[in-house]
Amino acid sequence: MKKQYYAIIDIGSNTMRLVIYLREKGGRLKEVENVKASARLRTFLDDENKLIQAGIDRLLTTLKSFQGVAETYLLEEMVCVATATIRQAANQKDVVQQVKKETGMKIRTLSDQEEAYYGYLAVVNSTSISTGITVDIGGGSTEVTYFKNRELMEAHSFPFGALTLKEFFSNDIPPTEDEIKALQTYLSEQFRSLPWLTAKEIPLIAIGGSARNLVQIDQNLKEYPPLAGLHQYKMYDTDIKKISNYLMSLKPEKLSKVEGLSKDRADIIIPAIEVFHSLYQVVQADSFILSRKGLRDGVFYEQLSKEVGSILFPNVLEDSMQELITDFNLDPKQILHVQYLTRQLFDHIKEHGLMHLDKKDWQLLKRASYLCNLGEYIDAESSAQHTFYLLANRTIDGLTHKDRLRLALIASYKNKTTFKQFIKPFKSWFLKDERKKLRHLGALLKFSYCLDATKRQVVKEIRCDDHKSKFTITIKCQGGFNPPRRISNRKAKKAFRKGNQKRN
């Protein structure tokens, strides 16, 4: 089957990007190339708000270099969109015509409402957040949206971005305390001018390069455990303020060397952080979450929606699970059978009070049952290690970092020893009781998986009886059971020891 590649060029006020996607079997898009250029087109607007020729030349040079990269792929389509600087340029029409003449590219200049809308679309189709506020800080504008039950309720574009705020409020790097106070007052007034932003007490979801840099700095300061990916990373108001104070204390030469901070953002990161902090306070947000998916993804989500008949993917997390099942060639028939056995065992254990279990525990266990021993795709002998690494370090749309780790720990369960090895760097993330429950859920899933190790669906029913201190599991089979019995006796004893059978 021919591989289908799609490309988008995003002409921003601060940076320009080329992103190339591969359309996968399930229809979703996987990023395969991401090229960034710090063009800073905003700085080429003159007093009449015209983009001067030097800026146009930089735009053309960058676009031509992007074309060189794109030509190495057999593209189905390439889209080129522009935001605030081109939108606000008095000579926008001339710029677009010159680009068309020199490169053959047709620039689509997005309206401020379109820019906000695509950010919203990216967030609701790549996270499990149903209600929230999005914020996307560009170089020359800042877009905010409010969505409820995944439906867009409000959208607005402010005529300021990280570059313009630096120009208006800061002559120094880092800014002085007086400059910061003036900036904070201005931002608070701007955000409070929109009643629908005030006191919402919902997540604030940030999009864009400044937000990514903020998260990377936070991870480095916290010496974040080895868990890859930035998408759906969660922070709080105190974290943002701590980073702002830290950066404000640095001299210019030190600021540009901060781990996680791009050199081309060193002079604008503090104004951007103040936007996040001020908006967090106005919204009275309950958390700050990064969405690595933004405007570019939103543009393509809109195109995909034409095929499925809805702008919203029905179930973001289930789609992500299906991608993993497809990517690692997992057997759907075995998955459903292991899930069936796991549910029987789960219900019996709950009924007999061996563990305190609830709906959330089943949802977590069900999720893990889709991906149990996924690492066999790479190497059967070290399946547990590969399963844990792959799930812990792969972005899974719809799961926060902590939920992703829970999934990895349960799906990769082999025995108590390996569980302790896997959870060791993250031990502080969970209380003792939760660590114990995760281990027990992993053992439960491992036991069920062992019963269908031959993938023949021989085991048809599990019954459990509790007589005083003895817990008996009766397995009803059809056909020859010897291979799975040997496997279950050897492996399941390790996974489901007597200690897991005692009442809490």
Residue ranges of the domains in the chain? 4-109, 113-296, 317-500
User: Does residue 247 sit in helix, strand or coil?
Assistant: helix
- 315: which residues sit within 8 A by CB, 6+ positions away? none
Question: For 398-444, how does the pLDDT look when each residue is reduced to its tens digit (9 = 90+)?
Answer: 999 999 999 999 999 999 999 999 999 999 999 999 999 999 999 99
Question: How many Cβ atoms sit within 10 Å of the Cβ of residue 333?
Answer: 11
Question: For 81-132, how does the pLDDT look when each residue is reduced to its tens digit (9 = 90+)?
Answer: 999 999 999 999 999 999 999 999 999 999 999 999 999 999 999 999 999 9
Four-way CATH pick for 113-296: 3.40.80.10, 3.30.420.150, 3.40.50.720, 3.20.20.60: 3.30.420.150
Q: What is the rounded distance in angstroms from the CA atom of residue 139 to the CA atom of residue 41? A: 9
User: Does residue 156 sit in helix, strand or coil?
Assistant: strand
Q: Is pLDDT of 181 > 70?
A: yes
> pTM score, two decimals?
0.90
Residue 45: predicted pLDDT? 96
- 78: which residues sit within 8 A by CB, 6+ positions away? 6, 7, 8, 9, 70, 105
413 in Cβ contact with 495 (< 8 Å): yes
- 8: which residues sit within 8 A by CB, 6+ positions away? 18, 19, 21, 78, 79, 80, 81, 296, 299, 300
Q: What is the rounded distance in angstroms from the CA atom of residue 264 to the CA atom of residue 15? A: 9
> Considering only CA atoms, which of 39, 36, 58 is closest in space to residue 102?
58
Identity of the residue numbered 383: S
Q: What is the rounded distance in angstroms from the CA atom of residue 55 to the CA atom of residue 94? A: 13
Mean pLDDT calculated for residue range 142-168? 96
Local confidence band at 1 (pLDDT 50, 70, 90 cut-offs): low
Question: How many Cβ atoms sit within 10 Å of the Cβ of residue 440?
Answer: 23
Identity of the residue numbered 60: L
- Mean residue pLDDT of the chain comes to 92
The structure tokens 């937000």 sit at 211
Q: What is the rounded distance in angstroms from the CA atom of residue 491 to the CA atom of residue 435? A: 21
The DSSP symbol for 14 reads S
Long-range contacts of 66-70 (CB under 8 A, 24+ apart): 66/9, 66/16, 66/18, 66/35, 66/37, 67/103, 67/105, 69/18, 69/20, 69/33, 69/35, 70/7, 70/18, 70/20
User: Does residue 16 sit in helix, strand or coil?
Assistant: strand
Question: How many Cβ atoms sit within 10 Å of the Cβ of residue 147?
Answer: 22
Tokens for 113? 């409402």
The CATH H-level (homologous superfamily) assignment of domain 4-109 is ATPase, nucleotide binding domain (3.30.420.40)
Residue 495: predicted pLDDT? 47
Question: Which is it for the CA torsion 227, 233, 234, 239, positive or negative?
Answer: positive
Identity of the residue numbered 365: L
In degrees rounded to 5, what are phi and psi of residue 257? -110, 10
Local confidence band at 503 (pLDDT 50, 70, 90 cut-offs): very low
Q: What is the rounded distance in angstroms from the CA atom of residue 176 to the CA atom of residue 183? A: 11
Task: Please tell me if the domain spanning 4-109 has the same topology as the one spanning 113-296.
Answer: yes
Local confidence band at 365 (pLDDT 50, 70, 90 cut-offs): very high
Helices (H) and strands (E) in the chain, counts: 20, 13
Q: What is the rounded distance in angstroms from the CA atom of residue 425 to the CA atom of residue 429? A: 9
Instruction: Sort strands 204-207 and 288-291 into parallel, antiparallel or unpaired.
Output: parallel
- 81: which residues sit within 8 A by CB, 6+ positions away? 8, 9, 10, 11, 107, 108, 109, 110, 295, 296, 299
Q: Exposure string (b/e) for 226-260, b if CB count within 10 Å is 16 or more?
A: ebeeebbbebebebbebbbeebeebeeeebbebee
Residue 488: predicted pLDDT? 52
373 in Cβ contact with 383 (< 8 Å): yes
Residue 118: predicted pLDDT? 97
Residue 501: predicted pLDDT? 41
Local confidence band at 504 (pLDDT 50, 70, 90 cut-offs): very low
Question: For 4-53, how does the pLDDT look when each residue is reduced to its tens digit (9 = 90+)?
Answer: 999 999 999 999 999 999 987 767 788 999 999 999 999 999 999 999 99
Phi-psi region of 463 (alpha: psi -120 to 50; beta: other; left: phi over 0): beta
| Domain 317-500 -> CATH class | mainly alpha
Question: For 451-496, how does the pLDDT look when each residue is reduced to its tens digit (9 = 90+)?
Answer: 998 888 999 999 888 877 777 888 898 876 554 555 555 554 554 5
> Considering only CA atoms, which of 203, 306, 288 is closest in space to residue 241?
288
Question: For 372-386, how does the pLDDT look when each residue is reduced to its tens digit (9 = 90+)?
Answer: 989 999 998 899 999
Which residues on adjacent β-strands are paired with residue 37?
16
Instruction: Sort strands 75-82 and 142-148 into parallel, antiparallel or unpaired.
Output: unpaired
Residue 24: predicted pLDDT? 79
Q: What is the rounded distance in angstroms from the CA atom of residue 195 to the CA atom of residue 309? A: 33
> Considering only CA atoms, which of 115, 145, 118, 143 is closest in space to residue 131?
145
Residue 124: predicted pLDDT? 97
Q: Is pLDDT of 246 > 90?
A: yes
Percent share of the chain, pLDDT over 70: 94
CA 356-496-467 angle, to 5 degrees, is: 65
Pick from 134-148, 165-179, 229-243, 378-392: least confident: 165-179
Residue 446: predicted pLDDT? 95
Q: Is pLDDT of 160 > 60?
A: yes
Question: For 276-329, how does the pLDDT look when each residue is reduced to its tens digit (9 = 90+)?
Answer: 999 999 999 999 999 999 999 999 888 877 777 788 888 999 999 998 998 899
Mean pLDDT calculated for residue range 218-224? 95
Which residues on adjacent β-strands are paired with residue 158?
142
Residue 490: predicted pLDDT? 54
